[in-house]
Amino acid sequence: MASQDIIRRSGTTDITPSAQARTGAVKEVTKLFDATKCTGCKACQVACSEWNDLRDEVGTFQGSYQNPMQLSPESWNIMQYHEVMDDNKLRWQFTHTACMHCADPACLKACSTGGAIVQHANGTVDFDSDKCIGCGYCASACPFNVPKISKTDNKAYKCTLCSDRLAVGLEPSCVKTCTVGALRFGTREDMLFYAEKRVAQLKERGHKNAGLYNPDGVGGTHYMMILHDINKPETYGMPADPVVPAATEIRQDWLKPLGTAGLLATAGFALMHRIAVGRNIVEEDQPGYVDAAAETEEDKQ
Amino acid sequence: MSNNKELIVRHKLIDRLCHWTIVFVGLVTFLTGFSFFFPSFQWLSGIVGTPQLAKIMHPFFGIVMVALLAVMLMRYYGHNKWNKYDLPWMKAVVWVLLQKEDNIPPVGHYNPGQKMLFRSFVIFVIAFIVTGIMMWQPYFAPMFAPETVNWATLIHSACGILMLIALVVHVWMACWIEGSITGMLYGKVSKAWARKHHPMMLEDHEDK
Amino acid sequence: MTNHWADMKNTDLAIVMGGNAAEAHPVGFGWVTEAMEHNNARLIVVDPRFNRSAAVADTYAPLRSGTDIAFLLGMIRYLLEKKQINVEYVKAYTNAPFIVREDFDFNEGLFSGFDDTTNTYDQSSWFYELDDDGYAKVDPTMTHPRCVLNLLKKHVDRYDPDTVSSITGTPKEAYLDVCQQIGATHVDNKAATFLYALGWTQHSVGAQNIRTMAMIQLLLGNMGIMGGGVNALRGHSNVQGATDLALLCQGLPGYLKLPNDADINLEAYLNHYTPKALRPGSTNYWHNTPAFTVSLLKSFYGEHATAANDFGYDWLPKWDQQYDISKQIDMMVHGEVHGYFIQGINTLNSQPDKQKVSKGLSNLKFLVILDALANETSSFWRNAGQFNDVDTANIQTEVFRLPTTCFAEESGSIANSGRWLQWHFKGANPPGEAMSDPAILSGIMLELKRLYREEGGRLPEPIEAIKWDYAIEHEPSSEEIAKEMNGYDLTTGKLLNSFSELKADGSTACGIWIYTGQWTEEGNMMARRDNSDPSGKGITPNWSFAWPANRRILYNRASCDVHGKPRDPSRVLLEYKEGKWQGIDVPDFNAKLNAEDSAHPFIMQADGTGHLFALRQLKDGPFPEHYEPFESPIGSNPLHPKVTNNPVARMFQGLRESFGTSEEFPYVGTTYSMTEHFNNWTTHCRLAAITQPQHFIEIDETLAAEKGIANGDWVKVTSKRSHIITKAYVTKRLQPMLVQGKKVHTIGIPRHGSYEALTQKSYIVNELTSAVGDANTQTPEYKAFLVNIAKAEGF
Ligand SMILES: Nc1nc2c(c(=O)[nH]1)N[C@H]1C(S)=C(S)[C@@H](COP(=O)(O)OP(=O)(O)OC[C@H]3O[C@@H](n4cnc5c(=O)[nH]c(N)nc54)[C@H](O)[C@@H]3O)O[C@H]1N2
Ligand SMILES: Nc1nc2c(c(=O)[nH]1)N[C@H]1C(S)=C(S)[C@@H](COP(=O)(O)OP(=O)(O)OC[C@H]3O[C@@H](n4cnc5c(=O)[nH]c(N)nc54)[C@H](O)[C@@H]3O)O[C@H]1N2
Ligand code: HEM
Ligand code: HEM
Ligand code: SF4
Ligand code: SF4
Ligand code: SF4
Ligand code: SF4
Ligand code: SF4
Ligand SMILES: [Mo]
């Protein structure tokens, strides 16, 4: 993806985004997951590993169909499995779990390093491994607990929304592979339009609380989910009200300027003091002090 | 009066070695730390090579520095106890700054300003080690909840800032009170220096 | 399948029962979700477990494993009682109005003709009453007491909802809800489709499970239409092809029969297997059997096959008894087999009763394994601790391993469940010394020929006569084989276009008649990739080749009424208009006939109808009947306690003694696949191993609490035959069922256990299962057996 399509970079104090030659030419895109259609087949997991050349550990049974249990540098999406009782009826809910590509990405905000995280004009939030230093600020700031630091090369990894595929006009690998069309990909506009229709259809089919998960707290996301019950995102393993965490905002928006001011003030004060008060010399210790005194004595004599 | 230039020991060799190692290691720790904190100063990480290396080195240097500092703080603990002379000195701190020597009540080995700095160092040491370990990728951080790590990061960087401010003050004072740096370098200060800045320290010595 | 994958999008109601389509056919299942989203279809899942298919279903109903026939016969009762059948269709297109012989009877669980010394049926009474011309008698009013419909009514009368519920464990309301939804599709403008696989086949009543459903589809008028049909979702990617090419050991390619000792010459054979029409005007397509058979012999023996020598008929092996795998194992155990070839199957792992399989293999002198991987079977002799506790020193079997290629390393065709023959192209070179299966088999064949030539031997003729004229003798290409299967006109040397061109005079050769048309003079029809779908109904005539004759929906004549008018104007496959047949699919009937004359859609039946009464086609009865699994949690059949199990199921000596009782083994064990693994061989695949790294079983919360088993605990599951130790998944998705007033628990056992692969080492699950099998297909009863469970020490 051409660099002029980057609209936000991590670790920069620039206030205005860099110029964009093709303003408006790039449409925002969205990956849309329909939990009501998903069969939990994990093809998306495998497809992601295939495309991105990832091979996680072979784990062990953990009391669920879920495996691996967590996102990791070698697993950029995982399926979660939840047995939920709804109105005395069992629902087995599957969640395709990956980066949400937040419009207001906490990871990017928290990142220590210039350009290690960028947001493209199409809405994807992408990590640049070359620049990443592995500080993990993204990992701890992300309200969805997405980025993970590799023990092998000390860098942060997560779903890129297959930005390499998007750049050449392909859909993400997981979407391409999804067996039943539970994953879709398109412009944000189209996906919102489709989701609205689908949610209406689901309501008609008896899912009264069906809805679209596109949380405002992070400005909306470029990976959205259609859920059977929008009032209970926690039952899908998703936070009900994700926001850019306060600690991140305080650190980046308050501590930095205040800290700078504090440092400058102290240094400035020290300089002023030096100019105004000058050196604090113990005169007896000064070279020539004894001689001078002796001289005076001698002079007196 | 003839013994004005006579030198007395203020810092033992081991403490001086400690101190200057801390200064060196601290330089690395601080500069790398600040390269993470202030994006515009990312070039600072160049002092150890690359930003990636800086990230790897910082906590190790940090640990060394914190460990040495802990040693030093323990050794200087005795000198830094609060005592009855400190309050009057504090009340006269403006005169201290303005170098109006006649108005300054006498103090011992360390003045209350230094003691406060000392205390802040104690706090910083603990805060750095605790939060630093919680943040340490990829080894320890995954053992803590992300939110906890995130708060740890905030505290760690806040301590970084505050300690830097404290150190600016420390260095500023060191440069201002001439003779103290040589004291820290060679271990000895003149009796005159002691009489001027830490008169009661001299009493300690003369008692002996 | 009578229909095909893409056609599922046309359905109004999909029923996944006796299978787990979402899990075992995840891609094909996409057509179901397509129907649900774009055709507002509903999905019903009936399964002992709330599985991945149930997760996306509108309706889920549990049932006890092995009781589908009770469920479905009860549904037939419901349909007849509530008049939810498609009367016109049933009258015109099924054998409902046909009159059955007077001596046919059903009593206390047994049909007429049972011989309890041999445990077989004399099937002669299972037939129509014939008139003087040899045609079946019919009562179009369907009032005759012995017409099929009335016999059926009587037969299903015992299956009232309460009885069904207490046998199956399905709560009555859920059951009636399912019946009601399915019954609603009896109208002409609604279609329902049943998707099934092993949940129905792997029972001692497997074939009858499927038949019962087929009867329902006939009663509802759902056969021969878009979005309807009887749809077997096949297993191994090319198992449809294997079936077409004679999977069962008494078959020949194209569903011809292998002769037995009674068929002393070609004439006798053809007389035996060429049916006579049972209704005037019936197409009775199998009347072409001679043309198919002779062409097959010509393809086997080439110029050695002449009219004078019955086209080499005598060289065909004649079968004397069943030789399915379980039988072969049984023979090994009894020292009756000395050498054995295993090609592309992990026998030790996948066949029932592993202890017995192991014993059988240990009795062999030599074992040849053609396989792409080093699987458990090829090291059955190696002691792998608790996973394979054999005494290696006492096993003398010499094992030869011949590494083969796998599908991506060769080109060829694969027949999918929808009968599409799709060509695929080689994607990589094989590793190391691996050779393709045809090359290995050719090598053996040529060596045999050489040995016979040079050293002579008993009965050399069949080997000598085999036609072997491939360009590279030891490496026949897929292309050559595909053309050979398609068939040639031997006078012109040209490839044939259609099996209607086959002759019984030896002037055509054809390896499998139903595949004719797959590779014509115009080229490889299987490699066609034009997915244009002019009608939008999923009929893509230029995408690959569908056997037979590129026909996409079988029995499609039944989509129109007797007068050739489409029964549902929104699902027009064909119609009789302006004096001729026209439409989007290839007609599955003689399209030269007018509407009325062609109104017998089931052309492979001698009477042209769909069979509610199966005549002599199945070994265990012309009507289905509920029999308990051989290991039953209730021990006896509530309908007829004297005949608890299928009386003619495939049995071996000593097998009965290996059955456990419900006192000792109170829980129903059932085995199945999970999406993450394909049978056993993907346990060797890293990515698949990552997604499902370790074997486990599933139990309900009630049983877990009773046994003190927590989620993730180690457990020991024991059957009368052996045990496995594995982890437990305590889940809400399994629930105890109320059967005959008794709480019955199901223990779900995924079948992907392996100790020679990349997954965590685990027991082979077939330690637990039994070789008792279906009467018609010999398929083992993997889906219903008895086990016990206890907390265990892990490993
Ligand atoms: N991912 C994956 N796909 C596969 C395979 C695989 O191993 N993995 N294997 C392939 C092969 S070879 C085959 S043959 C097919 C098999 O395909 P399926 O038959 O769909 O698969 P199974 O998992 O054997 O069984 C299906 C369901 O039958 C249920 N069942 C058990 N007993 C009964 C019963 O008495 N009545 C009813 N109604 N249901 C019952 C089980 O709970 C299970 O959910 O899948 C093929 N596809
Ligand atoms: N308990 C229980 N047992 C079952 C079942 C069940 O549901 N429950 N299901 C049964 C069913 S339906 C099936 S289909 C069987 C499946 O049982 P198997 O067929 O034994 O299982 P697979 O793992 O598919 O084994 C296929 C073998 O073929 C090899 N192979 C792959 N490609 C090639 C090739 O091109 N050439 C050759 N020569 N070899 C190749 C693979 O390496 C592998 O070893 O299991 C049966 N067993
Ligand atoms: C006096 C000593 C230390 C100072 C002044 C210091 C300062 C800093 C600063 C300013 C940052 C950047 C914070 C931000 O970007 O918001 C930082 C990051 C960090 N510090 Fe320290 N730190 C010290 C000691 C330690 C110690 C002892 C450890 C480990 C035990 C440690 C581990 C870390 C870690 C893990 C980070 C995250 C960034 C990274 O690893 O690259 N620090 N430090
Ligand atoms: C270039 C930078 C520095 C200079 C010039 C400097 C100078 C000095 C001097 C002159 C003293 C002796 C003060 C006295 O005798 O009263 C001193 C003491 C001390 N310094 Fe530094 N220092 C520097 C950096 C640091 C740093 C980075 C640290 C630790 C993080 C540090 C920690 C201490 C401590 C703990 C003492 C002991 C005095 C006390 O207990 O208050 N110094 N320093
Ligand atoms: S989900 Fe997390 S990693 Fe992804 S864009 Fe949002 S904050 Fe960043
Ligand atoms: S780990 Fe990398 S991407 Fe994440 S915040 Fe640190 S530098 Fe940025
Ligand atoms: S979009 Fe690409 S990187 Fe992200 S989960 Fe899907 S396949 Fe993986
Ligand atoms: S590939 Fe599609 S259906 Fe399968 S688990 Fe992923 S999202 Fe669900
Ligand atoms: S394995 Fe092949 S045949 Fe089976 S669902 Fe996947 S794509 Fe289809
Ligand atoms: Mo299968």
Q: Which residues contact C371 (CB under 8 A, 6 or more apart)?
A: C342, C343, C344, C346, C377, C378, C401, C402, C403, C404
Closest CA to B111 of B80, B74, B135: B80
Ligand 8 environment, Cβ below 6 A? A 38-44, 79, 94, 96, 178-180, 182-183
| Strand C366-371 versus strand C339-343 pairing type | parallel
Q: Which domain holds residue B43?
A: 3-207
Closest residue CA from atom 2 of ligand 7: A162
- Positive or negative, the CA dihedral B115, B119, B122, B128 is negative
One-letter amino acid identity for B147?
E
CA distance B198 to B108: 5
pLDDT of residue A24: 62
B174 and chain A: CB distance < 8 Å anywhere?
no
Minimal Cβ distance to B178: which of A139, A270, A280 = A280
Give the pair of three-digit tokens for residue B13: 């060799």
DSSP bridge pairs for A8: A119
CA distance A29 to A17: 20
Which is higher by pLDDT, B187 or B1? B187
Chain A residues with beta carbon closer than 8 angstroms to that of C32: 180
Chains C and A touch (3+ CB pairs under 8 A): yes
pLDDT of residue B86: 87
Chains A and B touch (3+ CB pairs under 8 A): yes
- For the segment(s) C655-791, the CATH number from 2.40.40.20, 1.10.10.10, 3.20.130.10, 1.10.8.10 is 2.40.40.20
Which is higher by pLDDT, C126 or A16? C126
A11 and chain B: CB distance < 8 Å anywhere?
yes
Q: Cβ separation of B141 and A140 shorter than 8 Å?
A: yes
- Catalytic residue set of B: 170
Closest CA to A158 of A182, A132, A184: A132
pLDDT for residue A297 is more than 80: no
Q: Indicate whether residue C52 lines ligand 1 (CB < 6 A).
A: no
CA distance C746 to C410: 42
Please spell the DSSP secondary structure of C241-254, one letter per residue: HHHHTT-STTEEGG
CA distance C97 to C146: 9
DSSP bridge pairs for C671: C749
pLDDT for residue A3 is more than 50: no
Q: Where are the beta strands (DSSP E) in chain A?
A: 6-9, 29-34, 78-86, 89-97, 117-120, 125-127, 148-149, 156-157, 183-187, 211-213, 223-227
End-to-end CA distance of chain C: 44
DSSP class of residue C147? B
Q: Cβ separation of A67 and C730 shorter than 8 Å?
A: no
Q: What is the CATH number of the domain that holds B104?
A: 1.20.950.20
Q: Where are the domains of chain C?
A: 6-97+161-237, 655-791
Q: Where are the beta strands (DSSP E) in C197-235?
A: 230-232
Is A228 labeled as ligand-binding? Answer: no
Chain C residues with beta carbon closer than 8 angstroms to that of A198: 37
Categorize the per-residue pLDDT at B207 as very low, low, confident or very high, splitting at 50, 70 and 90.
Answer: very low
Is A138 labeled as ligand-binding? Answer: yes
Q: Cβ separation of A285 and B5 shorter than 8 Å?
A: yes
Q: Where are the domains of chain A?
A: 2-243, 251-300
CA distance C525 to C549: 11
pLDDT of residue B1: 40
Q: Indicate whether residue C235 lines ligand 2 (CB < 6 A).
A: yes
For chain C, which ranges sit under pLDDT 50?
none
Answer whether C609's CB lies under 8 Å from C218's CB. no
Categorize the per-residue pLDDT at A296 as very low, low, confident or very high, splitting at 50, 70 and 90.
Answer: low
A281 and chain B: CB distance < 8 Å anywhere?
yes
Task: Over range B53-73, report the average pLDDT.
Answer: 93
pLDDT of residue C769: 98
Q: Cβ separation of B39 and A13 shorter than 8 Å?
A: yes
Q: Where are the beta strands (DSSP E) in C239-393?
A: 251-252, 256-257, 339-343, 366-371
Answer whether C769's CB lies under 8 Å from C617's CB. no
Answer whether A79's CB lies under 8 Å from A237's CB. no
Residues of B (4-63) whose Cβ lies below 8 Å from A: 4-5, 36-40, 42, 45, 51-52, 54-56
Judge if pTM exceeds 0.95.
Answer: no
What is the interface pTM, i.e. ipTM, of the complex? 0.93
Closest residue CA from atom 2 of ligand 8: A178
DSSP class of residue C494? E
**What CATH code is assigned to A2-243?**
3.30.70.20
Cβ neighbour number for residue B15 with a 10 Å cutoff: 16
Closest CA to C389 of C357, C355, C365: C355
CA distance C420 to C547: 6
- Contacting A with CB below 8 Å, chain C residues are 22-23, 26-27, 29-30, 32-34, 36-37, 50, 52-56, 58, 674-676, 686-696, 711-712, 727, 729-733, 758-760
pLDDT tens track for A144-159 = 999 999 999 999 999 9
Q: How many residues does chain A have?
A: 301
- The alpha helices in chain B, defined as continuous H runs, are 13-37, 51-75, 86-91, 93-98, 112-135, 146-176, 180-186, 191-197, 199-207
Closest CA to C387 of C725, C686, C716: C725
At the topology level of CATH, where does C6-97+161-237 sit? Dimethylsulfoxide Reductase; domain 2 (3.40.228)
Q: Where are the beta strands (DSSP E) in B145-204?
A: 188-190
* Burial of C560: CB neighbours in 10 Å, binned 0-12, 13-18, 19+: buried
pLDDT for residue A295 is more than 90: no
- Positive or negative, the CA dihedral C352, C355, C358, C364 is negative
The total of structural domains in chain B comes to: 1
